[in-house]
Amino acid sequence: MELNKKALKILSEYDLLHPDKTSEEDFQFAKDAGYMFDSITQTHDETIEFAFQELNKCKKKNMTDLFLSSLSSGRLDWRIGLSAYNILKVFPKHSVETNGVNCIICSSKPYELVDFSFINSIRFKIGGIISGRIYHLAFILQQHNKLPYVTPSIKDFDIFQSIIEIIRNAERNDTPSKVQKKIRKIEGFKSNEEQRKALLETLGFCSILETEEHKGFLHQFTNLGLAPGSRHSSDWLYPVDWWKGRDGINQDALKFWFGGYEELQNLFM
């Protein structure tokens, strides 16, 4: 699936705080190409219903295939779906209950003017979620379900194995920040710090990187809007924010997500 480079450039330059910097002509071009969208107001309950409709279309194998295929291709829009899928598969189906501002169950607003262009720019620039808000997750899954079927390459498997080995060999007090710096040296894996951070956060959502007290989303839901941080200044998402090298890898979770690949069987020996 070829990218429209002009539309992608327009999207990448989109400024959430100053949307008027994108000309009407450029916006229309990127919109016609399917990269930018009109902002619309959505309600919490309608969006949850829509999110579960999209979730029902998903297949785990397709999610992991696209995630792995993103590693050598740099297609970050292929990578982000696994995060949204992880959270939504254990997301409680509920009607909005507010504390006067946000839903007390998921921390999303009762209704919101959603800037889909901004969320789409995150898909292509970062490859990982920036919040657990239902409006973001639903859109990400919707767009992910439009992607073509892709099969990972040998290079993808090699990169993934290198990532897992680096994590396994981490020093006891290594933080995710230290691990992401080591990952940048993997041959054939082009990424910046923000993208590597998002990748490790995705492994946290998968429960591959978690701690005894702070679990991922394999078996339980955690409201990211209320999840505790390891320190006040941390900008890492839960639960990988709490992870250190001594916590290692949750082998059961790794096998759940990637145990079906013959090319990765040496990770489970």
DSSP bridge pairs for 98:
103
Contacts of 117 (CB under 8 A, 6+ apart): 11, 14, 19, 30, 35, 36, 37, 39
State residue 1's pLDDT score: 66
Helix or strand run (H / E) with residue 44: helix 44-55
Distance (Å, whole) CA 219 – CA 241: 18
Contacts of 155 (CB under 8 A, 6+ apart): 71, 72, 188
Q: What end-to-end distance do the CA atoms of the chain give, in Å?
A: 36
Smallest CA-to-CA distance from 81 within 92, 94, 72, 68 is with 68
Smallest CA-to-CA distance from 241 within 229, 226, 224 is with 229
Nearest 10 degrees: CA dihedral of 188, 194, 196, 197?
Answer: 180
Q: Where are the domains of the chain?
A: 5-144, 154-268
State residue 232's pLDDT score: 83
Asked if residues 166 and 179 have their Cβ atoms less than 8 Å apart, the reply is yes
State residue 269's pLDDT score: 81
Cα–Cα distances in Å, from 258 out to 55, 59, 116, 162? 19, 13, 31, 14
Distance (Å, whole) CA 98 – CA 225: 13
Cα 27 off chain centre by? 25
DSSP bridge pairs for 42:
112
Model pTM score: 0.95
DSSP secondary structure, 188-257, as one string: T----HHHHHHHHHHHHHTTSS--SSS--SSS----TTTPPPSSTT--PPTTGGG--GGG---HHHHHHH
State residue 2's pLDDT score: 84
Mean pLDDT in each 10-residue stretch from start to end of the chain (269 residues)? 92 93 97 97 97 97 98 97 97 93 94 96 96 96 96 98 97 97 96 98 98 97 94 92 97 97 94
State residue 52's pLDDT score: 98
Cα–Cα distances in Å, from 150 out to 74, 83, 108, 256? 13, 18, 32, 20
